[in-house]
Amino acid sequence: MQTPEHFNSLSQFRNARNTPEEGVCLVPFAYSDGEALAIRSVLHDLALNHEARFFGRQDAVLAMLSNQDPAYGKYLVLCCHGDKDSNIMLWGDESLRPQDLAGKINLPGKVVIATGCSVGRQELATPFLDGGAAAYIAPAGDPEGGTGTIFCTLFFHALFYGKHTIQEAYERARGWDAETGLFRLWAA
């Protein structure tokens, strides 16, 4: 559903390596649009079906996470910043805390990758898994800038070109260096 609260940019390829059902939805939060655009460029170069959503309001984000405005495809990449309390930073003083998400997420079968610092903790993984996500992947510490882009590039390349499982693609991506090694995986 197209609303004034967000803008969709959808790229589908006739000879893509993934089906639209296996597509990737990129969602940039505050000051993470550059990362989302970099990952989008990689997905485009890899000929993977994908969508980028640029939200302007917290309620639009929650509508997507609750499946009222469903995210495209199977893979959801939250390009974000996080803080020491595992909050996903939104805009200004707004943030999504783990307790704000509890009971509100409905993402059946989705694989969620969050790129923000310190959002790879059990207290944030739990609402996603309780909301039906098949997996939640995020850094437990504070990786250097650009690490989210590198992790996603390696993950999606291994998944769709190498035909690896989610677990194998995760292991390959996190094995790149110490920074990508900060990413953790929780699976349902």
Q: How many domains in the chain?
A: 1
* Maximum average pLDDT range among 2-6, 67-71, 104-108: 104-108
Tokens of 8: 């969709």
Are 23 and 10 in contact by the 8 Å Cβ rule? The answer is no
3-state secondary structure of 61: helix
State the sign of the Cα–Cα–Cα–Cα dihedral 158, 107, 126, 122: positive
- pTM equals 0.92
Domain of 34 in residue numbering reads as 6-187
Any domain includes 65: yes
Choice among 58-62, 70-74, 139-143 with the minimum mean pLDDT:
58-62
Work out the percent of the chain whose per-residue pLDDT is above 70. 91
Residue 1 placed within a domain:
no
Q: Best-predicted range by mean pLDDT among 33-37, 60-64, 134-138?
A: 134-138
Residue 101 belongs to some domain of the structure: yes
CA distance 127 to 116: 16
